[in-house]
Amino acid sequence: MENMLVTGGYGFIGSNFVRYLLDESDYEGRIINVDSLTYAGNPENLAGIEETYGDRYVFVKGDVCDGERMDRLFDEYQLDSVCHFAAESHVDRSIVGPGAFIQTNIVGTFNLLEASRSHQGQVELFHHISTDEVFGSLGKEGLFMETTPYQPNSPYSASKASSDHLVRAYHETYGLPVTISNCSNNYGPYQFPEKLIPLVIQNAREDKPLPIYGDGKNIRDWLYVRDHCTAVWTIMKNGKKGETYNVGGNHEMENIRIVEIICDLIDALPHMNAKPSRRSLITYVKDRLGHDRRYAIDSSKLKNDLGWVPEESFQTGIEKTLAWYLAHQEWIDRVRSGAYQEWIRDHYEA
Strands across the sheet containing 30-35: 57-61, 30-35, 3-7, 81-84, 125-131, 178-183, 244-247
Active site residue 132: yes
Q: What are phi and psi of 284, to 5 degrees?
A: -85, 130
Distance (Å, rounded) from C-alpha 63 to C-alpha 15?
Answer: 17
Write the CB contacts of 271 (distance below 8 Å, at least 6 apart in sequence). Answer: none
Catalytic status, residue 133: yes
Out of 35, 88, 133, 260, pick the active-site residue.
Answer: 133
**CA separation for the pair 335, 213 (Å, rounded):** 24
Query: Taking every pair of C-alpha atoms in the chain, what is the biggest distance, in angstroms?
Result: 64
> Distance between CA atoms of 105 and 130, rounded to whole angstroms?
10
- The phi, psi pair for 147, rounded to 5°, reads -95, 0
Whole-number Cα distances in Å, 191 to 14, 92, 156, 202: 10, 16, 18, 12
Quick one: which of 239, 228, 8, 1 has its CA closest to 112? Answer: 8
C-alpha angle with apex 147: 306 to 158, nearest 5 degrees? 110
For strands 252-254 and 219-224, give the pairing.
antiparallel
Alpha helices by DSSP H, listed for 97-224, are: 99-101, 108-118, 155-174, 196-205
Cβ–Cβ < 8 Å for 200, 321: no
Tell me phi and psi for residue 46, to 5 degrees: -120, 35
Which candidate in 156, 224, 245, 325 is catalytic? Answer: 156
| Active-site residue flag, 71 | no
In the chain, count H helices and then E strands: 14, 12
Active-site position among 132, 260, 298, 312: 132
d(CA 220, CA 258): 10
* Residues catalogued as catalytic: 132-133, 156
